[in-house]
Structure 1
Amino acid sequence: MKKKKKEKKNKNKNNNENKTKKKKKKKKKTTTTTKKKKKKKNKNKNKNKNKKKKKKKKKNILIKQNFEKQLKDAR
């Protein structure tokens, strides 16, 4: 009788331990579509950045030309 009671207690203890153990979180795999989307987004970002650079360069060239023209006119 005592042995059975002890076994039952141990069984309960083990069950409780198993319940309290934290489950390991599974790492979510990134799908190919999300990777593709990210790549496309970065591509567009770079494209826009390059466009802005070109615009700025053009503007600077125009300002420089204008300045040189003004100097010529002043002479």
Structure 2
Amino acid sequence: MVKTTVYLPEELEIRLDAEAAATGVSKAELIRRGIAMVLESSQRPRNVRPLPVFNSGRSRTPEELDEDLYQQIKERAARR
């Protein structure tokens, strides 16, 4: 995970504290869930590149193929 600092208005901080206490879910988890909800409902078009085609005319090792696929999957996951 990556640490990020977020500044909240006092009213949101109070409500967040109350929700965390009432549900037993950490404030950090509630914030993560809220961000995920916003991103999932976003209407912004996603730039999805097709998976790489492995007919480049040169031989590639299985490790190179795995790395390319891993990078593509990682990029797509970051946009979700």
Of Structure 1 and Structure 2, the greater helix share is in 1
Same fold (TM > 0.5): no
Query: Quick check: which has more Rg, 1 or 2?
Result: 1
Higher relative contact order (CA 8 A, sep 6+): 2
Q: TM-score, normalised by structure 1?
A: 0.30
